[in-house]
Every structure is written in C-alpha cells, then in structure tokens.
Amino acid sequence: MKILIAGFQHETNTFAPTKASYQSFIQGEGFPPMAHGDDVLKLRDVNVPIGGFIQWAEAQGHELIPVIWAGASASAHVTKDAYERIAGAIVERVQAGGFDAIYLDLHGAMVTEHLDDGEGELLARVRKIIGEDMPLVVSLDLHANVTARMVELADALVAYRTYPHVDMAETGLRAAHLLARRIAHGKPLKRAMRRIPFLIPVNGMCTLVEPARGMYGMLESLEREVVSLSFAPGFPASDFDECGPVFWGYALDQDAADQAVDALYAQLVNDEARWNVPFLSPDEAAREAIDASRDATKPVIIADTQDNPGVGGDSNTMGMVRALLRNGARDAAVGVIWDEQAARAAHRAGVGARIRLALGGGSNVPGDSPLEGEFEVEYLSDGRFRFDGPMLNGMSGELGPTACLRIDGVRIAVSSIKMQVFDRNLFRVAGIEPERMKILVNKSSVHFRADFEPIAHRVLVAKAPGPMAADPADLPWRHLDARMRVRPMGPTLAALRASAA
C-alpha cells in the first residue's frame, strides 16, 4: 500500500496562561521538533506513535508518504495561525491524492482559538476529501477528550495504555495492526462508545498504581474477545462540552463491541470513589519530605503538580520553593523553573557570582509571585542534553541557556525553554545530580515516575498554587456538560452552579 502519514499533537488546558504558537511547534517543547516530508521518517526510532507505525510499515514493505509531524507542550489554546498552517499542510497533501490509506498521530485534547474539537475538525476535513471508503486510522494520547465526531469519522482510534506514557511507539504499532485488520475486513468495523459521567484528576490516572492499573488490565483481558478496546481518562482542563473520560472499542459484531465497552464502563463507575486523589499543601509536603529524608538513602520526590508544563503550567510558580525555604530544607533541588531572564542574568554573572533576582512567578497565579532574593550561580550550561529515561530515550533535548541557582539549602534548575521534568537529565544539564539530593521537587504530575521512581524513597503530591488545578472541581468551568460530575463522587456542574447562585 501507499499510506499517507502525519502527526499533530497538543494537549490544551483552556485555563492556562500561555497559548501554543507556530513557533511552539517548531521547537517541540519536549516533543521532537517539527519535521516535514522525509524528515518525519527519522522518528522511526523515537518513542512516539508515528515511530512505531513507521517501523511496521517499512517492515511490511508499504510505501509511506510523510507530510508533517508537529507537537508542542501542553498550554492554553493553539493559535488559529498554528492550527491552520499545520492542519492546512496535512489537508493540502491529502487533496493531492495518490495513496490507499491514512494514518494520523494525534493527541485528542486539542482546543484552538477558533475550534473546540481540533482533532474532530481535522478528521472532518480529511474525510470530506477521501470519502467514506478509504481507511483512516488514528492513534491518541491517554489524555484524549474523545468526541463523538472523532469516533464517527475515523475507521479506528486507539489510545496509549500507560501513564507515564512509555507505550507511545507501541500504540502506533497497534494503530498499524488496526489498519491491517480494517483492510482485511473490507468494510468499517462495528464500534461502541461510552462516556463516563465524572471527571478524573490527572494524578489519579497513573497506571503504575490502582485503580488505573487494574482498569487497563481488565481492558486487555476483554480485548481478547474483540478487535480493539481503548480507554482515555481524558484531560480534565479543556473547557468544552465533551471533555471527560471515554471507553470505546471495535469488533466484527455489534453486540460484542457493546458488551465489552459496557463491562468496562460498569467496572469504572462501580469503583468511582477509588479514582479520587488526596493532595498535600506545600508546607505539609515540605515537612513530610524533610522528615522522611533524614534517614533515607534515596531522595524524597515531590510532584509540584499544579505547575506542570505537561498539562499547561508555565513551570515558574514558586510555592514549593518558598515552602522548602520556610521549613529549612537542606540538599533540596527544584526543577525546572522556566525563567529566561534569570538564566541569562546568571550566564552574564558567571559561576560563583552572587546575584539578586526576582525569580519565577510569571504566571499571574493567585497566591504566587516572584521569589526575590540573593542567589549563588553554581553551574551554567547551554541546556543541550539527551533523554536517557524510558519516555523519549535517545532523543535530544534543549532547554536553552540553563543555570543552577542556590539559595540557602535549595538548588534551583533554571531554563530558557519550558519543559516538563520527566527525565533525570533535566536536572543533570543544570549540574544537579538527582540521586545525591535529599529532596527533589519536580514540575510534573505523573510522567516523572517513569525515570524517577527507581531512585525515589517516597513520592508525595503537593497542591501548590499553579495554573493547572489538580482537582477539576476547582476550575471555573463555563462550557463543560452541566450533567458531568466535576470530580469522582463530586457534584455535577449544574449542582455547583446552583449552590453558588
């Protein structure tokens, strides 16, 4: 076959402070940088879905027609300019024809300045050109907010099954197998979809622990009876009516598809209370980490989840830094604070200098502000590194001019480019050896666990001020379906509004 392939990934937190511009996708911001044409094929060995699909297609002798691959860190809306340029490149090549099938590597939670359902709109534009008969398969992130339009327009959607996302390339391979199954069947597969009636906190979705681990185990067991099953717990910060968790699946028989998806739905709804997540205040997390680290041989790790750039934070709130300082933490490190001006000031001053700064605090988050003080410049680098952890192993990364600034017993990795801490090398590029620290504060929610849990004495989750509410009930929803419960066992949005009236 000749298969057209492309990728366009963005996870949109509509409550976040910073939008995703075209330049964001050029840089990648933790994803591979934008690639065009044959350069897309260089992703074959990278742990992203299109990499797994490329490996399968080349092994099978299919001819690939690569168009574009673009991803950017989670943030507020994708600008209209960025969406239309990237989606436009895909649609323009689709219009040119000359292929037998299409594979798209998408996220599933993209909201733009002008569209609530970025992926659904892209699929609609593509389907209008290729008609009903050409196979179109799509891989999605585990955090996709899967819409009815997406399910209707694609022959098959398949989502990651791990969070941290260590199975991205494997998901591309599953998409390839679905494409082969669809072609062998000769007509569209039967499909089923069920929407869960409550939002799940991001921290409750980690597949290394229960209940998510058991949920995906049940999914894989039931999948033996059908063609494919997927579960996307959703991204609970995209303010539109179809935000939330979804099960869906495909089978040769409609009853089989319905029964499998219904069984998953019933299990999750019965276990609703288990999907709730407890959080610590910044001071509680700092004190608990200090106590636990006294006799520990490994660092205690605190997830600064509400400022995670992987879900739309700007990675510059200072709540956890202040809590560490207030409580007298020693041998603590925080990473990575995105503050280009501070990083450049450190580079101008040089290693060993002491400089006065107002560090971070640029997100205008209530309860947060820059940390003013005198910092010692301990280390400087150009910010270039390699990912050695499980998620993007072997890929190059860049934080721009980077510095380690120390204040009292706290070292702070400061970068010029925003990136989530899901690899230990984001500390090392700032001269901080994470294994030698008593306490590590990571600007991340769950992804850090893939590379950091092997060195962790304990993992704590802190709810310091930040742009991404760890509890979806804390968000000022406007467009969410009013019948949705805003957290497990919580009230519906309609009930919340009534109580506030």
DSSP state string for 361-380 = --S--TT---EEEEEEEEEE
First to last CA, the chain: 59
pLDDT score of 371 more than 80: yes
What sign has the CA pseudo-torsion 280, 482, 11, 17? negative
Among candidate residues 228, 108, 238, 242, the one with its CA nearest the CA of residue 165: 108
Cis peptide before 209 (omega within 30 of 0): no
How high is the mean pLDDT of the chain?
A: 96
Output the six-digit token pair for 147: 């819409």
Residue 481 DSSP SS3: coil
What's the pLDDT score for residue 486? 96
What's the pLDDT score for residue 364? 87
Residue 420 is given by DSSP the state: -
Distance from C-alpha of 151 to C-alpha of 140, rounded to nearest angstrom: 12
Residue pair 282/441 in contact (Cβ under 8 Å)? The answer is no
Distances, alpha carbon 150 to alpha carbons 91, 140, 244, in Å: 16, 11, 14
Q: How confident is the model at residue 299 (pLDDT cuts 50, 70, 90)?
A: very high
Distance from C-alpha of 130 to C-alpha of 145, rounded to nearest angstrom: 25
Q: Which residues pair with 344 in a beta bridge?
A: none
Distance from C-alpha of 171 to C-alpha of 346, rounded to nearest angstrom: 42
Average pLDDT over residues 231-251: 98
Torsion-angle region of 336 (φ positive above 0: left; ψ -120 to 50: alpha; else: beta): beta
pLDDT score of 225 more than 80: yes
Q: Which helix (H) or strand (E) holds 145?
A: none
Average pLDDT over residues 395-399: 92
Q: What is the pLDDT of residues 83-132, one digit of tens each?
A: 999 999 999 999 999 999 999 999 999 999 999 999 999 999 999 999 99
Q: How confident is the model at residue 29 (pLDDT cuts 50, 70, 90)?
A: confident
Q: How confident is the model at residue 30 (pLDDT cuts 50, 70, 90)?
A: confident
Sequence spans of domains, the chain:
2-190, 282-469, 471-501
Cis peptide before 32 (omega within 30 of 0): no
Max intra-chain CA distance, the chain: 70
Q: How confident is the model at residue 500 (pLDDT cuts 50, 70, 90)?
A: confident
DSSP state string for 111-126 = -BSS-S-HHHHHHHHH
Residue 194 is given by DSSP the state: E
What's the pLDDT score for residue 278? 87
Q: How confident is the model at residue 459 (pLDDT cuts 50, 70, 90)?
A: very high
pLDDT score of 363 more than 90: no
Distance from C-alpha of 284 to C-alpha of 305, rounded to nearest angstrom: 15
Q: What percent of the chain has pLDDT over 90?
A: 95
Q: What is the pLDDT of residues 322-353, one digit of tens each?
A: 999 999 999 999 999 999 999 999 999 999 99
Q: How confident is the model at residue 455 (pLDDT cuts 50, 70, 90)?
A: very high
Q: What is the pLDDT of residues 148-205, one digit of tens each?
A: 999 999 999 999 999 999 999 999 999 999 999 999 999 999 999 999 999 999 999 9
Output the six-digit token pair for 285: 């997390």
Q: Which CATH number describes the domain made up of 2-190?
A: 3.40.50.2300
Alpha helix locations (H) across 73-167? 80-96, 118-130, 148-153
* Residues written for the chain: 501
What's the pLDDT score for residue 37? 98
Cα 298 → chain centroid: 27
Among candidate residues 378, 377, 375, the one with its CA nearest the CA of residue 356: 375
Pairing of strands 439-442, 300-304: parallel
pLDDT score of 277 more than 90: no
